Amino acid sequence: METLQRAANAGSVSTGFDIDNSAAFGGANGIQFNPSSDGNRKTWTVSLWVKRSEISVETTIFGATNTAMVFMDSDWFRFHLYTGSATYYYDTDNTGTVFRDTSAWYHLVFQCDTTQAVAANRTKLYINGALYTGARGGADTSANITQNMEFDINDNTQNFNLAYFYAGAEQLDGYLSEVNFTDGVANDADAFGEYDEDSGIWKPKAYEGSYGTNGFYLEFKESAGSATGIGLDTSGNGHNFSTGGAYPSQSTDTPTNNFATMSPLWKYATSSTLSNGGTYISTSTAGWTGAKSSIGVQNGKWYWEVKSTNVGWSLFPAGIQTANEAYTISGNAHSQNTTIALGTGSTYIKYVAGSESSVSTGGASMDTDNITGVALDLDSATKTLKWYRNNSLIGTVNIVTVSASFGNQLVFPFSSIYADSGTVFIEYNYGGYTTFSISSAASDANGYGTFEYAPPSGYYALCTKNLAEFG
């Protein structure tokens, strides 16, 4: 796990090959393509970049009917390969090799070439550029794959599925980018990526080889929810993907510019659910829930937005926390925690730094569907946190006067909810993708992020290209 997390691409590596878009899948059925004829069922390669938003849930990344590339519910990897009569498993170590870093992008390449005389060469998995040679899970039967065996992939009676197994099963909540499938070509990982010579981090590069008969390349370069929009195949083969239930949304969160999301590793309360690419948290259980960002900062000026879509009660705090915080603003012991947040209802600022107090900001309360803009300044002599209600400034606080911890520790954007009755949810927008409607499509001065309101002058979206410059 440590190796995987260290090698995963956080999106901060300078590269001549920039990826502009990904597809954000919100846990609904994904997209599919049905080939008109059989391709090579012995030799093929799939390469893709994936960023998870949900962990500890079985989710399908790629596959064909009855055949799937899956993160299992204990977060290890499986490719189950179906022949029409039997299933063969390629499993990583189900006790040690896990994929739980939701702050980074993983590059997975699975190569199949059953024509190989040596059994170990018939199926290969590359993780962030490195050939996987670790222990294999107990259900693994890939050693039994015989020479010239044919799998369901590339059978024209089987759909290629992206982000789901079959209707209603194992849907991905997360992001996919640079999806390549090469038919009849067994590619190693270096056909799709390379190591940065300075950092040693694996980064993407353009694929220049053949796609074969049924191959495809999904860049998600068009935003429209259609087969010729976000489902467009740009390999030249014209194998466009149609909806299997719901088209994904286009996102600017990519392996070359990684945006913050809410982290399931830092989520309070098992009753709450993160969804829609880590931008949406909901609960229907009375009490507090919350989550914080996947990216923390120690300097720079940063902006993000939070929408109270169904508050359910008077408190909807949005602000910052140190790493030790318990993710909610109330209902927990705060003896070692530090929080600053704006509460809704009577519009007040809650300071939690071992104790709890409040200071009125004046003005009207935050109502349902208002957008709270949060601006964090860690560069100025007076470090501040500012809140905007629908682009109007409503509160400013010197964060160091609340706690000196904010002046020398990583701090994380966060928000929490109190559920009184019914389902309560809030939506985050760090700029890479959001579920709430954007009418203005404002970005920061570097052109990054998509916000309802333009960030204040000098403030930037919380993404790795901005972090490399200002963080």
Domains and CATH numbers, the chain: 2-251 (2.60.120.200), 262-470 (2.60.120.920)
pLDDT band with cut points at 50, 70 and 90 for residue 2: very low
Categorize the per-residue pLDDT at 80 as very low, low, confident or very high, splitting at 50, 70 and 90.
Answer: very high
Give the burial string for 237-251 (b: 16+ CB within 10 Å, else e). bebbbebbebbbbbb
Dihedral of alpha carbons 328, 330, 333, 335, sign = positive
CB burial of 405-440 (b: ≥16 within 10 Å; e: otherwise) equals bbeebebbbbbbbbbeeeebbbbbbbbbbbbbeeee
Q: Are 11 and 161 in contact (CB under 8 A)?
A: no
Predicted confidence at residue 396, as pLDDT, reads 84
pLDDT of residue 172: 94
What number of CA atoms fall less than 13 Å from residue 386's CA on the CB side? 19
The answer, yes or no, to whether residue 357 has pLDDT greater than 70, is: no
Residue 39 has pLDDT above 60, yes or no: yes
Q: Phi and psi at residue 406, in whole multiples of 5°?
A: -70, -15
Mean pLDDT of 300-314: 78
**Out of 155-159, 271-275, 310-314, which region has the weakest mean confidence (pLDDT)?**
310-314
CA distance 365 to 435: 23
* Parallel/antiparallel/unpaired status of strands 59-64 and 160-162: antiparallel
pTM of the model as a whole = 0.92
Residue-averaged pLDDT of the chain: 85
pLDDT at position 371, please? Answer: 87
Segment 365-405, tens digit of pLDDT: 556 677 889 999 999 999 998 988 889 888 788 888 777 76
Length of the chain: 471
The predicted pLDDT at position 315 comes to 57
Among residues 394, 465, 433, which one has the least CA distance to residue 53?
A: 433
For 166-180, write each residue's pLDDT tens digit: 777 889 999 999 999
Q: How many CB atoms lie within 10 A of CB 69?
A: 24
pLDDT in tens, 135-162: 998 889 998 999 999 999 999 999 999 9
So what's the pLDDT on residue 334? 34
**Ranges assigned E (strand) in 205-270:** 216-218, 242-243, 249-251, 262-268
The confidence score (pLDDT) of residue 421 equals 63
Handedness of CA 30, 33, 38, 42 (dihedral sign): negative
**pLDDT greater at residue 361 or residue 270:** 270
- Percentage of the chain modeled with pLDDT above 90: 57
